[in-house]
Amino acid sequence: MNRRKFLQGASTACSLMIVKPSVAFSYAANSAVQYGLLGCGKRGTSVATSFATNTQARVVALGDIFPDQLAIGKQHFDQLNSKLGVPAVDPKLTFHGWEAYKAMAANPHIDAVQISTPPFFHVEHMDILSAGGKHVYCEKPVGVDIPQTRRALQIAERIDGKVSASVGFQIRSAPPFAEIVQRIHAGQIGKIASIAGYYNAPPATYPDRGAMPHDEQRLRNWLWDKTLSGDILLEQNIHVIDVCNWVMESHPFKATARASRKVIQNFGNINDNYEVMFEYPGEVELVFSSTQFNAPGYFDVKETFFGTEGIAEMPYKGALRIQGQKPWTWTGSEQESGAKFAADGAFSDNLADADKMKDRSFIESITGNKFQNQIAAGVDSARTCMMARKSAETGRTVTWQDIEADTEQYQLGIEIRKFV
């Protein structure tokens, strides 16, 4: 169902009344935002738990394509809400099946929705939820192909100043990273000459699904599926690329890349390594590499910016610092030698406060009627990764103009309507 038909009332069960946020959501200074989670997996549950713990948001609604996943989510948030002294999730506000997002969009008891579904669905879900007047917190990436990103930019234009739309690049909210980027922008390492970045992680793992039908396996094990996830460069490595775009205040204008599947042997089709050469304006090159087949527990991510007057080192764990003529080291929190990192986003050390700060910024944008619109920035980083992915697929250098003109649409190949 496309957005126009949906808004015209093709489905009476999901028909919407669009009103100004100031009318729909009249928040007192400390009013709780009624928060819904769409996608009750590990990362979605972790982020929604952070929202409930660190902000005025209260998890009141849950949606998932699978009833068993939904039941696990309800059990978790009922227990959490009890600890927080707030009511359990009303069973009437639990929605299962592929159309859960439409029911959440139409429900007047939900103010904001966190989109933690597989990336293939992000833009569709953001479109319908925001059209229903919901503020949206959408996990990265903003789409898995260029046509989806075009739709995302249309959404950004439509909702601007009406509801908040945040994209899950929480590293931008981590105090150590925000501080060092500010220093780089102030010229503390001089002019940036080159960049090195890497993202090395263990593979995504799932339990043995037994004789489960193939389509259901794909949906449940979506990190293994290139169509659903966008591949590791877009779904995981994008954090490094986004930090580089943030520092450079621009996107690269071309990429030369290669990728392969050397080690992992699950039924999926994602690559397990990437090597990319990006070129930014000013002849600044980023050499990026990624492996996602390492031993459990091995997780190492870092960006290094080489300038004319110094070097800025930005690791997930370890010393985050500037060396050179104007040295500086982050000392705002302890550098933990046993820092914890995982593919589902559980981490500490330099990113210890990232989720908390990102969550607060989103909720305060709602309660303060100062609405965020981060979609365009999310599209920029997604397209940067898509440019490199296309280069690896075609074996040629791909430019920004090439990727902006790209028309390839990822096809799901699943009869999603059967999941009701």
With H, G, I as helix, E, B as strand and everything else as coil, classify residue 183: helix
User: Which secondary-structure segment (H or E) carries 129?
Assistant: helix 122-131
Q: Burial letters for 353-388: b for 16+ Cβ neighbours within 10 Å, e otherwise? A: bbbbbbbbbbbebbbeeebbbbbbbbbbbbbbbbbb
Higher per-residue pLDDT: 286 or 337? 286
Tell me if the bond preceding 141 is cis, omega within 30° of 0. Answer: yes
Q: Which pLDDT band holds residue 31 (cuts at 50, 70, 90)?
A: confident
Higher per-residue pLDDT: 124 or 335? 124
Domains by residue range for the chain, with CATH: 3-171+413-418 (3.40.50.720), 174-352+376-403 (3.30.360.10)
Higher per-residue pLDDT: 7 or 155? 155
- Compute the Cα dihedral for 323, 326, 327, 329 and give only its sign: negative
Burial of 213 (0-12, 13-18, 19+ CB in 10 A): exposed
- Compute the Cα dihedral for 198, 331, 166, 77 and give only its sign: positive
Higher per-residue pLDDT: 303 or 337? 303
User: Which secondary-structure segment (H or E) carries 360?
Assistant: helix 354-367
Distance between CA 362 and CA 358 in Å, rounded?
6
Burial of 294 (0-12, 13-18, 19+ CB in 10 A): middle
Tokens of 173: 């909210």
Q: Are 354 and 170 in contact (CB under 8 A)?
A: yes
pLDDT, tens digit, for every residue of 179-207?
Answer: 999 999 999 999 999 999 999 999 999 99
Distance of CA 62 to the CA centre of its chain: 19
pLDDT, tens digit, for every residue of 344-398?
Answer: 334 448 999 999 999 999 999 999 999 999 999 999 999 999 999 999 999 999 9
With H, G, I as helix, E, B as strand and everything else as coil, classify residue 395: coil
Q: Which pLDDT band holds residue 30 (cuts at 50, 70, 90)?
A: low
- Compute the Cα dihedral for 218, 38, 409, 205 and give only its sign: negative
Distance between CA 58 and CA 53 in Å, rounded?
9
Which pLDDT does position 9 carry in this prediction?
A: 36
